[in-house]
Amino acid sequence: MIQKTSGSPPAWSHIPAAAVTELSNAYEIWHAAYEKTLTPACTKPEWDEKNRIRDDSEKLIRQFVNIYLRYHPAVTNEDKENMGLHIPDPVRTPIEPPKTAPVFHIIQLGPELLGITYQNSAGRKGSRPRVVSGARIYYGVFDEPPVSQNQLPASVWDTRCPCQINFREAERVKRAFFALKWEIGKGGGLSGRPQPCAPLSK
């Protein structure tokens, strides 16, 4: 077992000596490979080997930190601060919904296929507000324009522009209507307004 070197009591006694030895050995192996790269005679295979060992060592370090330091109940927040570890905030910071709606365009991609491109009001295609994860696309096919976007019966969640939506053969002589809103992740955001597109071509 080992004990921490700083911070307030209680002292640590939860880290097995074998885990510390494994960590120390990994460092020695990496350092030996690293020293070879400091000479002018260093070869590419030696450089690649040093990088391979570093990647393996980083995985071991992350595992050690997560098991014995970051999440172990014996490690206090003061300990984590002393080690420079991030201390998670138990209180989630509320994120305000975006104050804009997507600007979007409808593209005819095929007889029964429409594409929807969307963007922030003053951005490039596919751009979105910083806190937004993607767009919720509501749509429906009607003979007459819907009175409210709440009448749109279907929706799809999209994070990559453009979004493609397939329609049925029977809907080709009708008109499709769309409304989009930004979503932070699980809901949120302000909706757009239904926008008609041309009748689906035969």
Beta-strand pair 103-110/163-166? unpaired
190: confidence class by pLDDT, cuts 50, 70, 90:
very low
Spatial contact of 109 and 117, defined as CB atoms under 8 Å apart? no
Q: Per the structure block, which two tokens stand in for 34?
A: 């690293």
* Amino acid code (one letter) for 122: A
pLDDT for the residue 168: 86
9: confidence class by pLDDT, cuts 50, 70, 90:
low
Q: Is the pLDDT of residue 184 over 70?
A: yes
Q: Per the structure block, which two tokens stand in for 46?
A: 């030696």
Q: Is the pLDDT of residue 202 over 90?
A: no
Calculate what percentage of the chain has a pLDDT beyond 90: 31
Q: Is the pLDDT of residue 2 over 70?
A: no
pLDDT for the residue 42: 92
Calculate what percentage of the chain has a pLDDT beyond 70: 84
Give dist(CA 68, CA 59) in Å, integer: 14
Most confident of 71-85, 118-132, 179-193: 71-85
Compute the average pLDDT of residues 85-98.
76
Spatial contact of 131 and 184, defined as CB atoms under 8 Å apart? yes
Give dist(CA 27, CA 44) in Å, integer: 21
Crossing angle (nearest 10°) for helices 44-65 and 17-36: 160
Compute the average pLDDT of residues 55-67.
94
Give tens-digit pLDDT for 12-21: 889 999 999 9
* Amino acid code (one letter) for 65: V
For the beta carbon of residue 111, count every other beta carbon within 10 angstroms.
11
Give dist(CA 153, CA 165) in Å, integer: 14
Spatial contact of 117 and 126, defined as CB atoms under 8 Å apart? yes
The CATH superfamily assigned to 103-196 is: Immunoglobulins (2.60.40.10)
The helix (run of H) or strand (run of E) holding residue 57 is: helix 44-65
Give dist(CA 121, CA 100) in Å, integer: 7
Neighbouring C-alpha atoms within 13 Å toward the C-beta of 143: 1
pLDDT for the residue 12: 82
Residue 69 Cα distances to 55, 75, 157, 176, 200, angstroms: 20, 6, 38, 56, 60
Q: Is the pLDDT of residue 1 over 70?
A: no
Q: Is the pLDDT of residue 107 over 70?
A: yes
pTM (whole model) above 0.75:
no
Q: Is the pLDDT of residue 65 over 60?
A: yes
Give dist(CA 32, CA 59) in Å, integer: 18
Cβ within 8 Å of residue 138, ≥6 positions away: 149, 152, 154, 155, 178, 179, 180, 181, 191
